[in-house]
Amino acid sequence: MTVLVTGAAGFVGSTLCDALLMSGPVRGVDIFTPYYSRALKEGNLESLRTDPNFSLVEADLAESPLEEALEGVEVVFHLAGQPGVRPSWGREFQNYVRQNVFATQRLLEACLAVGTVKKLVYASSSSVYGDAESYPTAETLAPRPVSPYGVTKLAGEHLCELYRTNFGLQTASLRLFTVYGPRQRPDMGFSRLLNAALDGDTFTLYGDGRQTRDFTYVEDVVRAMIACARSPWCGVANVGGGSRIDMRSVISIVQALTGPISIVHESPAKGDVRDTAADIGVAQSAFGYAPSMKLADGMRVMFEALRHQRAVSA
Ligand code: NAD
């Protein structure tokens, strides 16, 4: 079975490719957007590039012809996109619309055109909920994003659902809750915290530190995506890490690993939600999802991986 992973050079996409390679050939597609450095993305691909069962098509989903990338593909994991809540305001919004909405629509059209795709799993986001009315949040709650990023991720979900109901393309949207682990994007909280600790820099904490997140370990996310692709289930499901924790406690856990970090306080950023917590009942019953990594353990693995990466690139 040929599988295609879009966003294969990214944090979650490259980790998914590593796991998928254990069961057969994997094709990736990525355009190496400049949101963060190509060198980091090439680092994510390092072991994949040496595997003869992996191939990478450098193509822009919003622009390039997609026939080559999709030839013979039966399962598509769609992770390519423009992430990041805070930069999604103002002029940057057009980039979010391009990478998250237009690129998704083009990919869905191309899947229909090739006619071999049996399932598409889309990496949606907890950002679609905005400040939810209840926690843990279930999929039945009306999504009300509070950031332009969340709006575009929700539009992507709606597109997946439209192509399912109108054209019979089997699609599933997984709402990922703050993913962490080795290769985490450099703009994300844990990466910034660990890098600050290793560089002796300050860490900017937005808000009072009492905001909570449902952090999800990247390998749990990868397992959820693969299990979803193998199941006949279609729809929308939360994928959370199973525990909600506030930023103050996160900082304490990290400091126990790294020693003290100097914190600079800033007001909450526009578009940041106060809290997130996933009700994972749908994912559990639909495709047997159960998160397995405890935050302190996952954080330690991430810290060791970052130290190793710095040592080899020094
Ligand atoms: P990432 O930026 O590391 O990876 C995304 C990859 O997509 C990048 O390598 C980029 O070059 C590629 N890409 C972007 N636009 C493209 C296009 N038009 N054509 C081809 N490639 C393109 O991000 P990530 O953190 O790995 O997130 C992966 C996906 O999961 C994103 O869609 C994101 O919205 C979603 N998501 C991530 C999180 C998280 O916590 N990391 C949470 C919820 C949802």
Task: Pick the residue whose CA is nearest to atom 28 on ligand 1.
Answer: 79
Residue 6 has what pLDDT?
99
217 is catalytic: no
Tell me the per-residue pLDDT of 106-133, one tens digit each, with 9 for 90 and over: 999 999 999 999 999 999 999 999 999 8
Structure tokens at 68: 């080559």
Residue 89 has pLDDT above 90, yes or no: yes
**Whether the predicted pLDDT of 219 surpasses 90:** yes
Mean pLDDT, the chain, integer: 96
- The secondary structure of 227-256 as a DSSP string is HHHHSS--EEEEE--S-EEEHHHHHHHHHH
How distant is the alpha carbon of residue 142 from its chain centre? 21
The phi and psi torsions of 236 (rounded to 5 degrees) equal: -125, 130
How large is the greatest C-alpha to C-alpha distance in the chain, in angstroms? Answer: 55
pLDDT reported for residue 28:
98
| The predicted structure's pLDDT at residue 186 | 97
Quick one: pLDDT at residue 7?
Answer: 98
Rounded to an integer, what distance in angstroms lies between the CA atom of residue 179 and that of residue 10?
Answer: 12
CB 99 within 8 A of CB 56: no
Pocket test for ligand 1, best of 4, 6, 11, 151 (most atoms within 8 A of CB): 11
Question: Measured from the CB, is residue 102 less than 6 Å from ligand 1?
Answer: no
Three-state SS at 29? strand
pLDDT single digits (tens) 11-63: 999 999 999 999 999 999 999 999 999 999 999 999 999 999 999 999 999 99
**Residue 50, SS3 per DSSP:** coil
Distance from the alpha carbon of residue 103 to the mean position of ligand 1, in angstroms: 12
Q: What token pair was written down for 56?
A: 């990478």
**What separation in Å is there between the alpha carbon of 83 and the centre of ligand 1?**
6
For the chain, percent of residues with pLDDT exceeding 90? 96
Q: Are 29 and 59 in contact (CB under 8 A)?
A: yes
CA of 79 from ligand 1 middle (Å) equals 5
Per-residue pLDDT band for 139 (boundaries 50, 70, 90) equals: very high
Ligand 1 probe mutation, 92, 179, 180, 190, most atoms within 8 A of CB: 179
pLDDT at 313 over 90: no
Residue 284: burial class (beta carbons within 10 Å; 0-12, 13-18, 19+): middle
DSSP state of 126: G
Q: Phi and psi for 145 in degrees, rounded to 5?
A: -60, 145
* CA distance linking residue 310 with residue 153, whole number of Å: 33
Atom of ligand 1 nearest to the CA of 41: 9
Question: Quick check: 9 and 45 in contact, CB under 8 A?
Answer: yes
Predicted confidence at residue 198, as pLDDT, reads 94
pTM of the model: 0.98
Which residue of the set 149, 163, 180, 289 is catalytic? Answer: 149
Taking 90 as the threshold, does the pLDDT of residue 9 lie above it? yes
Token pair in block for residue 142? 């009306």
Res 314: pLDDT: 79
Average pLDDT estimate for 163-184: 98
State pLDDT tens for residues 244-301.
Answer: 899 999 999 999 999 999 999 999 999 999 999 999 999 999 999 999 999 999 999 9
Q: Is the pLDDT of residue 1 over 90?
A: no
| Ligand 1, atom 14: closest residue by C-alpha | 81
Q: Is any atom of ligand 1 closer than 6 Å to the C-beta of 291?
A: no
